[in-house]
Amino acid sequence: MNDERDYIEEDGEEEIITLADEEGEDIEFRVLAHMEVDGKDYLVLEDVEEDGNVMIFEVTHAEDGSDVLNPVEDEDECQRVFDYFQADCEDYEFCDAE
């Protein structure tokens, strides 16, 4: 994983990232996980305003070295990353042990 995560701001103990939607409106997301699955880096993000609205982005790198977030649109890839996230969920404070 890339340790350089300059697009993430720390807000207390939570990591918050701001992305623009299709209309150019800023949306804040809580970073739930930054993980590597099958050799690719991913971010699992939750909309701060809409609890439970989770999105998965692949992290790639531009020529200048900056991180680029690409929404995962392939259902199989998205499910594979989410399954990995859920299986490793006990490492995260927000997960309820059942």
* 29-50: pLDDT as tens digits: 999 888 889 999 999 999 999 8
Residue 41 lies in a domain: yes
Residue 55 lies in a domain: yes
Average pLDDT, the chain: 79
Q: What are 67-83's pLDDT values in tens digits?
A: 999 999 999 999 999 88
Single pTM value for the model: 0.73
Residue 50 lies in a domain: yes
d(CA 87, CA 43): 15
d(CA 14, CA 93): 11
Residue 81 lies in a domain: yes
Question: Span 6-25, mean pLDDT?
Answer: 72
Number of domains making up the chain: 1
Q: Which domain holds residue 52?
A: 9-90
Pairing label, strands 67-71, 40-47: unpaired
Residue 69 lies in a domain: yes
Residue 57 lies in a domain: yes
Query: pLDDT confidence of 15, banded at 50, 70, 90?
Result: confident
Do 44 and 32 form a contact (C-beta atoms < 8 A)? yes
Residue 13 lies in a domain: yes
3-state secondary structure of 70: strand
Residue 66 lies in a domain: yes
Q: Tokens for 7?
A: 């697009």
pLDDT of the residue at 72: 95
Question: Span 4-18, mean pLDDT?
Answer: 59
DSSP annotation of 89: G
- The torsion angle over the Cα atoms of residues 14, 27, 67 and 38, rounded to 10 degrees, is 70
pLDDT of the residue at 89: 66
pLDDT of the residue at 90: 58
